[in-house]
Amino acid sequence: MRLEQYMASYATAEVCDTNAAILANGDLRILQPVFQIYGQCRAFSGPIVTLKVFEDNVLVRELLETKGEGRVLVIDGGGSMRCALVGGNLGQLAQNMGWAGIVVNGCIRDVDEINSCGIGVRALASHPQKSNKKGIGEKHIPIYVAGSLIQEGEWLYADSDGILISKMELSI
């Protein structure tokens, strides 16, 4: 089953409607609606890999060079609007390595290239300038993005309506 077909039965609005109890207790959270939609997959989901960087994308590349296995990279870029953390080359790398998607609390660039990639991408905005290359940041740690604490290994569900974070894989 293709990812889009899988997600068709997991519309975020439907997930919220059918999971009111775990939404109320915090096991299912909705990210604030601050992200723009990029990439060919408007709907995607998978287990989360976390990364915290600021205006430096060396660790982004390091993680995207590993097998994605349908996971979603969630990058806390500190909300910086001064440079891009992901560009067309990294979007293509993510697709080639089997990542389901990338969520960036920051900017991307090479929007036309990213929009041709067969993954889902969410970011605050686009910015033409590339990031620093110092290799500073932290992988696999809890991060705070769009009003929610996100832990490595939680599940992300995204579609045109929004992004959900779940403590466990959902079954409807």
Feature table: binding site for Mg(2+): 110
Alpha-carbon span 82 to 40, nearest angstrom: 25
Return binding residues for substrate: 87-90, 109
**Residues in binding site:** 87-90, 109-110
Contact between 76 and 50 (Cβ < 8 Å): yes
- Of 105, 100, 93, the closest CA to residue 64 belongs to 93
Look up residue 37 and give its two tokens: 């939609």
Which residue, among 49, 81, 77, has the nearest Cα to 65 in the 3D structure?
49
